Amino acid sequence: MSIGAFVGSAAVSRVLAQGKRVRLRTFTRADMACLSEWADSAFVDAMVGSDFLYQYKHLYHRRNELFLDLLLRDGSQLNALIIPIRGSGAPVGFVRLFNINLLHGYAFLEIVIADPHSLRHGWGVEAGRLMVLYALESLGIRRIEAKAYAYNRLSQNALLRNGFKLEGALRQACFYNNQYWDILVYGLLKDEMEEQRKKHSVSLFSADGAEL
């Protein structure tokens, strides 16, 4: 099935998955203000260096309608906001699959918690898990790759808690705080995703809203 069947519309969001702490829902036009704020965040840039936000800010020059159209139509990526179940309903960040290859069954994962005050609640860990399991059940993904800066222990721990294995390092591939750091490469395979599915109670939803 194509990614387009899952992403919803510019006006109405759709819940992709829900766990104990957070739910994942698709972007709408009203959410673009959050992207603009996150794209200017020095904290997000230091912790993640998101190519997604870089494209929004520097390639699409914050042209919200054009960028949202990309989110809804690009079959190589699937993007969702992270919404804590308890709270105001405001997003605390986003999680995304990108460079999705349905033929070979692989994709790349990025998790962004955009507010430093939202760290250490387990929201990023669960959001990553939900997206991984959604990729397994709905898209048939059999391998997911993710990267983390060597100085970002929180991102590394989030990946390890979701079953990812350290596979290697891009040596001195980033510059932060006046020194060069490695970018660590993690991978997760289908049988490891299935182990996570057995361990955790999550709800995943199809394009018509039915639970998978």
d(CA 170, CA 182): 5
Q: Is residue 181 part of a domain?
A: yes
Length of the chain: 212
Number of domains in the chain: 1
Q: Is residue 210 part of a domain?
A: no
Q: Is residue 212 part of a domain?
A: no
pLDDT in tens, the chain (212 residues): 455 555 555 667 899 999 999 999 999 999 999 999 999 999 999 999 899 999 999 999 999 999 998 888 898 999 999 999 998 889 999 999 999 999 999 999 999 999 888 888 999 999 999 999 999 999 999 999 999 999 999 999 999 999 999 999 999 999 999 999 999 999 999 999 999 999 998 999 987 677 87
CA distances (Å), origin 62, targets 11, 33, 52 = 18, 10, 12
Q: Is 109 within 8 Å of 196 (Cβ atoms)?
A: no
Question: What is the CATH classification number for the domain harbouring 124?
Answer: 3.40.630.30
pTM above 0.75, yes or no: yes
**3-state secondary structure (DSSP) of residue 194:** helix
Q: Is residue 94 part of a domain?
A: yes
Strands (DSSP E) along the chain, which ranges? 15-18, 22-25, 77-84, 93-101, 106-113, 143-149, 165-176, 179-189, 203-204
Residue numbers of the domain that contains 79 = 3-196
Q: Is residue 39 part of a domain?
A: yes
